Amino acid sequence: MELNLTKPIVFFDLETTGINIATDRIVEISILKVFPNGNKESKTWLVNPEMPIPPQVTAVHGITDDKVANEPTFKELAPKVNEMIKDADLAGFNSNRFDIPLLAEELLRAGIDFDMKQRKAVDVQVIFHKKEQRTLSAGYKFYCGKELEGAHSAEADTMATYEILKAQLDKYDDIENSVEALSQYSAHTKRADFAGFILFNDKQQEIFSFGKYKGRTVEEVLTENPGYNSWIQQADFPLYTKKVLRLIKERMSAPKEDNRTDEEKLKALQQKFNLR
């Protein structure tokens, strides 16, 4: 089943120096952009991470320091990457918890703003785990009847993820073929940031998910302890988490909208100046 799209969707996969969103770097990125008319555009880049690739990580994806030594840095590639994804929804395999957060970090580090306000995210792994509880290679075999050649290369994983999602739509009648429905179905706990340090409670208020203020609203904590935001901004937290906190702080400082009627405002002024 082909995807029912109202705007482009980008399937992408990252190979990295590790799994720490705040400190690790991309060494390979593959993008497959699918348009509503069915056209596709794809691109794969090797990336110089400007840091050593640990041997245990190279053992997984096969990318060595020598292989990327003469490749462009992500900062050099960032405008091209942003151009491909800027008008698109995003999809991947474990992308909500890893690929999107790490891509956001790299883009912010390169000076390109990034947020998800105007786009949806579809995590094919979540759909897979809710339905079958398998890995990507097993999922490719299960849904598509094929062996995944070149697993743990960004391009092979990206193409497999795209094929799996289409096969999932063929297999499950109860999954609606729209990016909005797929995004909702594949979502984890609702987060204000990507890394999950700031969540939403039942009242749609931002709350901290860690530390001594776990479960308390961000606005309450920043009012009580303004220095907590300064500490986070200086500590080893993801850039996107820091951005979210800055936006909340700016929102708290913005003038409050006065919803009183003219009569109520006049009465308040009379009371203030002791007028009758």
pLDDT of residue 269: 60
For every residue of 147-167, DSSP letters joined together read --TTTTSHHHHHHHHHHHHHH
Instruction: Specify the CATH number of the domain 9-185.
Output: 3.30.420.10
> Contact, 194 vs 21, CB < 8 A?
yes
C-alpha neighbours within 13 Å on the C-beta side of residue 171: 15
Distance CA 252, CA 265 (A): 23
Residues 26 and 21: their CA atoms lie apart, in Å, by 10
Instruction: Please name the residues in contact with 84: beta carbons below 8 A apart, sequence gap of 6 or more.
Output: 10, 31, 33, 41, 43
Span(s) in the chain for CATH 3.30.420.10? 9-185
pLDDT in the model for residue 138? 87
Q: Mind listing the pLDDT tens digit of every residue in the chain (276 residues)?
A: 899 999 999 999 999 999 999 899 999 999 999 999 999 999 999 999 999 999 999 999 999 999 999 999 999 999 999 999 999 999 999 999 999 999 999 999 999 999 888 899 999 999 988 887 568 898 899 899 999 988 889 999 999 999 999 999 999 999 999 999 999 888 777 889 988 899 999 999 999 999 999 999 999 999 999 999 999 999 989 999 999 999 999 999 888 776 677 777 667 665 655 554
DSSP 211: G
Q: What is the pLDDT of residue 117?
A: 86
Query: Long-range CB contacts (< 8 A, 24+ apart) of 2-5?
Result: 2/38, 2/166, 3/34, 3/165, 3/166, 3/169, 3/177, 3/179, 4/177, 4/178, 5/34, 5/35, 5/36, 5/179
Q: At what angle do helices 100-109 and 239-253 cross, to 10 degrees?
A: 70
**The two structure tokens encoding residue 214:** 């776990």
Length of the chain: 276
Q: What are phi and psi of 130, to 5 degrees?
A: -65, -30
**Cα end-to-end span (Å), the chain:** 73
Tell me, what's the pLDDT at 15?
97
- So what's the pLDDT on residue 275? 52
